Amino acid sequence: MITTHRLTKKFGRFLAVDSVDLDIPRGQVVGFLGPNGAGKTTTIRMICGYLRPTAGVVRVDGHDMACSPRRGQQQIGYLPESAPLYSEMRVQEYLTFRARLYGVPRRARREAIGRAVQRCSLGKVVKRPIGQLSKGFRQRVGLAATLVHCPPILILDEPTSGLDPTQIREVRGLIRELAGDHTILLCSHNLAEVELTCDRIIMFSGGRIRAAGSIDQLRASAAGEACYIVECDTDGAQSALAAVPGVDRVERTGRDGTWQRFTVTADNGEQDLREEIARALARTGGSVRELHREAPTLERLFMRIMDDTGGAAT
Q: Do residue 129 and residue 266 come from a single domain?
A: no
134 and 274 assigned to the same domain: no
| Domain annotation covers residue 168 | yes
- How are strands ordered across the β-sheet holding 2-11? 14-24, 2-11, 55-60, 63-64
Strand intervals (E) in the chain: 2-11, 14-24, 29-33, 55-60, 63-64, 76-79, 153-157, 183-188, 200-205, 208-214, 226-232, 247-256, 259-266, 288-294
**Residue 196 pLDDT:** 86
Q: Is residue 112 part of a domain?
A: yes
Calculate the CA dihedral of residues 235, 237, 240, 244 and round it to 10 degrees.
-170
**Shared-domain flag, residues 12 and 115:** yes
Asked whether residue 195 falls in the same domain as residue 272, the answer is: no
The answer to whether residues 130 and 175 belong to one domain is yes
CATH number of the domain at 292, please. Answer: 3.30.70.3190
Mean pLDDT in residue range 79-104: 92
Least confident of 35-49, 69-83, 214-228: 214-228
Q: Provide CB contacts within 8 A for 1, sequence distance 6+.
A: 24, 25, 26, 60, 61, 75, 152, 153, 183
User: Final residue of a domain: which of 221, 248, 279?
Assistant: 221
| Mean pLDDT of all residues belonging to the chain | 89
Question: Do the domain assignments include residue 291?
Answer: yes
Cα 52 → chain centroid: 24
For 95-108, what is the mean pLDDT?
94
**Does pLDDT of 314 surpass 70?**
no
- pTM of the predicted model, to two decimals? 0.76
Same domain, 63 and 153: yes
Domain end (from 193, 221, 249): 221
Assess whether 15 and 105 both reside in one domain.
yes
Q: 252 and 173, same structural domain?
A: no
The mean-pLDDT minimum among 5-14, 135-144, 217-226, 241-250 falls in: 217-226
- Identify whether 178 is part of a domain: yes
Specify the pLDDT at position 224: 65
13 has pLDDT over 90: yes
Mean pLDDT across the stretch 81-89?
88
Q: Look at the chain and report how many structural domains it folds into.
A: 2
Answer yes or no: is pLDDT of 261 > 60: yes
Same domain, residue pair 259 and 118: no
Q: Kindly report, residue by residue over 279-304, the tens digit of the pLDDT.
A: 999 998 889 999 998 866 777 777 77
Q: What sign has the CA pseudo-torsion 141, 146, 150, 152?
A: negative
Which residues 6+ apart lie within 8 Å of 126 measured at CB?
90, 91, 92, 117
**Digit-coded pLDDT (tens) for 199-241:** 999 999 899 999 898 888 887 776 667 889 999 998 889 999 9
Q: Are 44 and 187 in contact (CB under 8 A)?
A: yes
Position 60 scores a pLDDT of 95
Chain centroid to CA 234? 42
Whether residue 120 sits in one domain with residue 46 = yes
Same domain, 90 and 156: yes
Q: Give residue 289's domain range.
A: 225-296
Judge if 185 and 262 occupy the same domain: no
